[in-house]
């Protein structure tokens, strides 16, 4: 139908909203609509300029593993070891040869000779490889080997200034030139190849991820608005925001020296597609309500702009502040996430509050066009969900709200209980797909030796004359071997390695070192916990061995992972405090209150706890992962706090404005049927956008996809639709405190009885004789305005 709205039943008859826009909002709406063509041209020019003059997409990107500070204790230990011995003990790139039925002795001998030749510089084409060390499990020369004579691992060493990609390329070139089919080469593996392959997988998956996400957003918006033009508008606006974010982010990374990890690019795309679509949904729903009431396209655009621009601007600023709170972290990894996320949300918000109103003013009813019904039929007002009005009135009764509140809180707390067992790791090889060649080579090496063979830990002991204290060094080696979680230890007590090579004792006698191989995946949570115990016990082990006046340190991938996990846990307090404070501040400013923002933020915390509990249960208990990737719980929590505040503002904002003229419980009953439905549509879109991150075949992305998708659905369908309204109903007028005293605005509130509409009366949102769509002003202050969007 055109110009009239469907007549709802008398029981769910809407009432006339008393909200009216401020003069400032009126002027803003007038300006954006009047300058609609200029606004569109401006954003087109901005995108063109960013593409032409700013760095290419992905510029400034960096592998997340390279963001570890080079001055941490583990790296310093490795540097001192190199200075003392003249060559490193640890390698992060290895060639794996394996035959489960046994490698011929000739192949093993050739591997040893090949490695010696590389170290002596006889293979000039092996550059930048400087040295190679073969490790075989023949006769179980390496203690703790699980097999005998089946596996040879050749550890490759390069100069420290060679990039990760350069190290992997050199290893692959070396294998192609100096190994043949009889050598039973499984592949090249290690933490460095795994990091490189992760970056390649992210970039190769990104086009498919973007295409599928775009298709999903198109379908959801098209179904929600029964239109083919509405999703094109949403995707067009999101596309502008994505291009600007990636190019501007690259420019800032280049100018400020802040690397943007490659791992964040799919997350940025999903975030922008979801968030911008959320904003467009609210504008579209409000415009459709006005068009259904017979408003002119310009008036409909102005009214929608005046009503939702402050809500969207506040929501965007709140989300940006929440994600930007990551910059307070001490961890370089978290600091790298924060600016990109905040920049994405801010650009998405700025594009939305200007470009969407301009396009709505230009397109008018055409934005809701459907090929099945024609242009006019497309603007019919959609009904709220069946029974939603009855449920909202029931929920806003204290006798119902109290048990609902208790039930929701109990359920969320129960879901959060598994978070007590949350463990963190820094997985590279294990994060790859099970059938990936790099992971397959690692699995073959682990079967021949032990889980930690590819990333052993180095224990460095420094002190005057320590190299000559053979008995004490042997005692320490035996003590290290007995530490739970340690599979094998190589060190000064091993006679199989000639002493004149000075592998474990420095030539000047001032240092000794041990190679500790752990029994678990070296970057997983269990290995990190093992190393933490070892670090705590090491001073006592040294004293028990009779070594005095020495200092010890740990190096290697597990030691670096341990530092990252510890830094992450230390950052938790700072990040949580900053994110919650930022969100609380914006909620207080928007609602002009303190009690309600604290209560709403508490609801968000419950939702996050339930989300992390379910994520821990699925990946650790069901899928038996060795802990969650260290950044996943905290990145997910920050994003959910920020986006939860978005839905706080979208859901409670209209009710709070409506409460200026009626009791809060009545305002909630009026606005909930429409705003909750709109939030669910927007949240479902955002959850799908994040959920599709699981297409990236890396475990961290699947953990993050699950956490964000489930968290957003919990937030929208339980917290914002049920828990928050029940909480505000129970709090009643106390939720406004101390707004009456701190902000004079509420002191002028008139507590008028709600306007009711008889069952046989015409819909109050339909134009009557006094509400003719003649334009006496862009946003008439005495015109009926919908209480909230109807989608």
Q: What is the pLDDT of residues 206-224, one digit of tens each?
A: 888 888 989 998 998 898 8
What digits encode the pLDDT tens for the residues 503-524? 888 888 899 999 898 988 888 8
What is the Cα–Cα distance from 768 to 761, expressed in whole angstroms? 12
Checking if the pLDDT of 564 tops 80, the result is yes
Provide the Cα torsion 455, 456, 461, 466; round to 10°.
Answer: -130
Q: State pTM to two decimals.
A: 0.80
Checking if the pLDDT of 109 tops 60, the result is yes
- Rounded to an integer, the average pLDDT of 530-549 is 91
Count CB atoms within 10 A of the CB of residue 27: 14
* CA distances, 589 to each of 158, 539, 650, 739 (Å): 56, 53, 15, 10
HSE-up of 237 (CA within 13 Å, CB side)? 32
pLDDT at 497: 64
Q: Give me the sign of the Cα torsion angle 97, 203, 682, 382.
A: negative
* Mean pLDDT for all residues in the chain: 80
Residue 189: phi and psi, rounded to 5, are: -145, -175
What digits encode the pLDDT tens for the residues 43-70? 999 999 988 888 765 544 444 445 555 5
pLDDT at 14: 42
Cβ atoms 236, 197 nearer than 8 A? no
What digits encode the pLDDT tens for the residues 381-404? 444 444 456 777 888 788 888 999
**Which residues partner with 551 through β-bridges?**
462
Checking if the pLDDT of 786 tops 60, the result is no
What digits encode the pLDDT tens for the residues 659-679? 777 777 777 887 777 777 778
High-pLDDT (> 90) share of the chain, % = 26
**Which residues partner with 151 through β-bridges?**
98
Checking if the pLDDT of 787 tops 70, the result is no
What is the Cα–Cα distance from 697 to 453, expressed in whole angstroms? 25
What is the Cα–Cα distance from 268 to 231, expressed in whole angstroms? 20
What is the Cα–Cα distance from 505 to 490, expressed in whole angstroms? 12
Closest CA to 686 of 657, 730, 716: 716
- Rounded to an integer, the average pLDDT of 171-185 is 91
Checking if the pLDDT of 7 tops 60, the result is no
* CA distances, 516 to each of 229, 478, 513, 527, 599 (Å): 62, 11, 10, 12, 51
Bond from prior residue into 547 cis (ω within 30 degrees of 0): no
What digits encode the pLDDT tens for the residues 279-338? 888 898 888 888 888 888 999 899 889 888 888 888 888 878 877 777 777 666 666 667
- Rounded to an integer, the average pLDDT of 163-174 is 91
Domains of the chain (ranges, CATH numbers): 1-77+199-383 (1.20.1640.10), 93-189 (3.30.70), 438-561 (3.30.70.1320), 592-746 (no CATH)
Residue 246: phi and psi, rounded to 5, are: -70, -40
| Position 707 confidence tier, pLDDT thresholds 50, 70, 90 | very high
- Rounded to an integer, the average pLDDT of 258-282 is 76
- Rounded to an integer, the average pLDDT of 478-500 is 82
What is the Cα–Cα distance from 330 to 571, expressed in whole angstroms? 6
Checking if the pLDDT of 777 tops 50, the result is no
């Amino acid at each position: 139908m055109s110009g009239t709205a469907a007549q709802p039943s008398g029981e769910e008859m809407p009432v006339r909203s008393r909200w009216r826009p401020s003069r400032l909002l009126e002027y803003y709406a007038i300006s954006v609509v009047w300058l609609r063509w200029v606004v569109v041209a401006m954003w087109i020019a901005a995108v063109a300029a960013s593409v032409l003059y700013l760095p290419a997409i992905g510029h400034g990107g960096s592998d997340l593993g390279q963001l570890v500070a080079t001055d941490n204790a583990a790296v310093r230990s490795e540097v001192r070891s190199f200075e003392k011995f003249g060559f490193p003990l640890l390698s992060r790139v290895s060639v794996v040869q394996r035959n489960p039925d046994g490698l011929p002795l000739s192949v093993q001998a050739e591997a040893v000779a090949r490695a010696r030749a590389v170290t002596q510089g006889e293979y000039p084409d092996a550059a930048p490889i400087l040295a190679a060390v073969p490790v075989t499990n023949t006769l179980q020369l390496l203690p703790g080997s699980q097999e005998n004579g089946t596996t040879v691992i050749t550890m490759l060493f390069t100069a420290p200034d060679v990039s990760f990609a350069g190290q992997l390329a050199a290893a692959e070139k070396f294998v192609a030139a100096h190994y043949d089919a009889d050598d039973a080469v499984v592949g090249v593996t290690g933490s460095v190849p795994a990091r490189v392959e992760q970056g390649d997988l992210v970039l190769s998956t990104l086009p498919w991820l973007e295409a599928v996400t775009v298709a999903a957003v198109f379908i959801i918006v098209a179904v929600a608005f029964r239109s083919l033009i509405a999703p094109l508008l949403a995707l067009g606006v999101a596309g502008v925001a994505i291009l600007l974010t990636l190019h501007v982010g690259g420019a800032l990374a280049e100018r400020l020296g802040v690397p943007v990890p490659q791992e964040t690019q799919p997350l940025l795309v999903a975030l922008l597609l979801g968030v911008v679509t959320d904003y467009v949904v609210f504008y579209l729903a409000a415009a459709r309500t006005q068009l259904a009431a017979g408003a002119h396209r310009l008036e409909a655009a102005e009214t929608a702009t005046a009503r939702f621009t402050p809500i969207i601007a506040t929501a965007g600023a709140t989300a940006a502040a929440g994600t930007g709170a990551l910059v307070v972290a001490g961890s370089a990894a978290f600091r790298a996430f924060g600016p990109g996320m905040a920049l994405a949300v801010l650009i998405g918000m700025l594009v939305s509050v200007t470009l969407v109103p301009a396009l709505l003013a230009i397109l008018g009813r055409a934005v809701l066009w459907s090929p099945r019904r024609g242009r006019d039929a497309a603007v019919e007002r959609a009904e709220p969900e069946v029974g939603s009005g009855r449920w909202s009135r029931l929920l806003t009764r204290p006798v119902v709200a109290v048990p609902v509140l208790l039930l929701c809180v109990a359920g969320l707390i129960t879901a959060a209980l598994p978070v007590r067992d949350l463990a963190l790791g820094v997985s590279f090889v294990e994060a790859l797909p099970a059938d990936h060649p790099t992971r397959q080579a690692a699995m073959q090496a682990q079967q021949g030796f032990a889980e930690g063979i590819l990333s052993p830990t180095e224990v460095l002991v420094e002190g005057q004359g320590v190299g000559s204290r053979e008995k004490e060094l042997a005692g320490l080696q035996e003590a290290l071997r007995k530490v739970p979680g340690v599979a094998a230890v190589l060190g000064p007590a091993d006679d199989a390695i000639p002493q004149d090579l000075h592998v474990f004792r420095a030539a000047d006698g001032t240092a000794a070192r041990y190679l500790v191989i752990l029994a678990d995946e070296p970057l997983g949570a269990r290995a990190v916990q093992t190393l933490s115990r070892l670090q705590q016990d090491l001073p006592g082990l040294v004293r028990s061995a009779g070594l005095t006046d020495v200092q010890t340190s740990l190096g290697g991938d597990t030691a670096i992972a341990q530092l990252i996990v510890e830094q992450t846990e230390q950052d938790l307090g700072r990040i949580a405090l900053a994110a919650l404070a930022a969100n609380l501040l914006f909620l207080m400013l928007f609602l002009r209150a303190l009690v309600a923002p604290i209560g709403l933020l508490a609801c968000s915390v419950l939702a996050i706890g339930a989300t992390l509990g379910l994520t821990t249960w699925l990946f650790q208990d069901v899928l038996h992962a060795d802990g969650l990737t260290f950044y996943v719980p905290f990145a997910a929590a920050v994003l959910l706090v920020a986006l939860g505040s978005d839905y706080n503002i979208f859901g409670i904002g209209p009710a709070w404005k409506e409460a200026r003229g009626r009791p809060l419980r009545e305002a909630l009953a009026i606005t909930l049927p429409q705003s909750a439905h709109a939030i669910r549509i927007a949240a479902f879109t955002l959850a799908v956008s994040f959920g599709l991150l699981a297409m990236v075949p890396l475990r961290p992305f699947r953990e993050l996809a699950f956490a964000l998708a489930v968290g957003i659905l919990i937030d929208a369908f339980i917290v914002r639709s049920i828990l928050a309204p029940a909480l505000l109903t129970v709090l009643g007028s106390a939720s406004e405190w101390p707004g009456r005293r701190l902000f004079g605005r509420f002191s002028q509130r008139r507590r008028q009885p709600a306007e009711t509409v008889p069952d046989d009366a015409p819909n109050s949102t339909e134009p009557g004789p006094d509400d003719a769509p003649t334009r006496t002003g862009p946003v008439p202050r005495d015109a009926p305005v919908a209480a909230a969007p109807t989608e």
